[in-house]
Amino acid sequence: MQFPAAQIALLVNGKIEGDGTVTVDSFGKIEEAGEGQLSFFANPKYEEYLYSTKASVIIISEGFELKHPVKATLIRVPDAYSAFATLLSKYQEIKQQSLAGIQQPVYIAPTASYGEQVFIGAFAYLGGQVKVGNQTKIYPNVYLGDNVVVGDNCVLHPGVKIYNDCVIGNNVIIHGGTIIGSDGFGFAPQADGSFKKVPQIGNVVVEDNVEIGSNTTIDRATIGSTIIKSGAKLDNLIQVAHNVEIGHSTVIAAQAGISGSTKIGNGVMIGGQAGIVGHIHLGDGAKVNAQSGVSKSIDPGKAVTGSPAYDYTAALRSQAVSRKLPDLEKKIKELEALVKQLMTEKTSS
């Protein structure tokens, strides 16, 4: 499909500079894009490509001043990166609209139900009392256990597994290989040194507008619900344990692990490979640096780093001091020598 620059500008509320009739049919990085492609410029490090690119249309921030002429048609917007993301979302929606109907073979329990304009791919399994909303896309090899609810406009990519009784809201994207609702890690120590499994009878609730990356696992609650609140974004390969709560618009990078019953506030940012112990609270707006080990609750708005994690600013000061230790050691030795010399002179006098 081809789209004229003028139509693209309407979609992103942008202003045209150049030929508004020029058309594009695909996207490209500014350093690689060719004729007929649309690109964007947001990072000043790539400015040199702005003047040499062969892209036909470029989305650019309205405040950026050109140093040289540009051949491409420009679309000026307040935030080039955000506008480009909007366009990619529209493009993806158009592609997904072509997916409709039910492929074969699938298993859909007689008591399961689904809404209008859904897509259910081959080898999908919908258990008893499953409910799927309108315009939801279920790719091949997805498993929905008994009593699972999936809302409207969701996308469940290949191999997603959602165990019994879990609830997925509207506009949720779950990437391939993710498992939601597997048993929490609950075992009671016994007198003979063995461990007895504690039944996990709760569920997982994923609210609206959440995105969950590939091969992430979210365990069901022992009792009650493990909750991922609206707008949260989880990367690939994340472990969320039983009875965890993740707040609104919180973002968590890959390979992070969150232990049971920890409560994470709204707007929290957690870096990759961070580990968080159980039964603590991370306040709204807290920031956890990558590879940090969090063993205590964090106050709202506070940033921590290290293992065990502590105040980010204090950690930077400590690192600065540690880099100077060789020089400090040298100065101490010089002072010791000077003191020894002064003591010798005093004794001899």
DSSP string, 26-41: EE--TTT--TTEEEEE
- Count of positions (residues) in the chain: 349
Out of 116-120, 198-202, 317-321, pick the least confident.
317-321
Q: Write out pLDDT tens, residues 228-255.
A: 999 999 999 999 999 999 999 999 999 9
Residue 302 has which token pair? 């506070």
SS3 of residue 209 by DSSP: coil
Confidence of residue 327 (pLDDT cuts 50, 70, 90): confident
Amino acid at 209: N
Residue 349 has pLDDT above 70, yes or no: no
How many helices (H) and strands (E) the chain has is answered by: 5, 40
Confidence of residue 193 (pLDDT cuts 50, 70, 90): very high
Out of 36-50, 82-96, 141-155, 169-183, pick the least confident.
82-96
Nearest to 39 by CA among 88, 94, 102: 88
Confidence of residue 56 (pLDDT cuts 50, 70, 90): very high
Residue 97 DSSP one-character state: H
Residue 105, preceding peptide bond in cis (omega within 30° of 0) = yes
Residue 1 has pLDDT above 80, yes or no: no
Confidence of residue 310 (pLDDT cuts 50, 70, 90): low
Confidence of residue 71 (pLDDT cuts 50, 70, 90): very high
Residue 95 has pLDDT above 90, yes or no: no
Residue 174 has which token pair? 């779950």
Residue 21, C-beta contacts closer than 8 angstroms, at least 6 positions apart: 4, 5, 6
Confidence of residue 328 (pLDDT cuts 50, 70, 90): confident
DSSP labels, 239-271: EE-TT-EE-TT-EE-TT-EE-TT-EE-TT-EE-
Q: Write out pLDDT tens, residues 270-301.
A: 999 999 999 999 999 999 999 999 999 999 99
Class of residue 326 by CB neighbours under 10 A (exposed 0-12, middle 13-18, buried 19+): exposed
Residue 286, C-beta contacts closer than 8 angstroms, at least 6 positions apart: 265, 268, 269, 298, 299, 300, 301, 302, 303, 304
Residue 175 falls in the annotated catalytic set:
no
Confidence of residue 326 (pLDDT cuts 50, 70, 90): confident
What's the chain's average pLDDT?
A: 94
- What does the pLDDT read at residue 93? 78
Residue 58 DSSP one-character state: E
Residue 189 has pLDDT above 80, yes or no: yes
Is the four-CA dihedral 169, 257, 157, 112 of positive or negative sign? negative
Cβ contact 181:162 at 8 Å: yes
- What does the pLDDT read at residue 167? 98
- Give the C-alpha separation, 203 to 201, whole Å: 7
Q: Residue range 145-153: average pLDDT?
A: 98
The residue from 242, 248, 279, 281 that is catalytic is 242
Paired strand residues for 33: none
Q: Write out pLDDT tens, residues 3-36.
A: 999 999 999 999 999 999 999 999 999 999 999 9
In this structure, the number of other CB atoms found within 10 A of the CB of residue 205 comes to 21
Confidence of residue 309 (pLDDT cuts 50, 70, 90): confident
Paired strand residues for 16: 75
Phi (first) and psi of residue 163, to 5 degrees? -75, 170
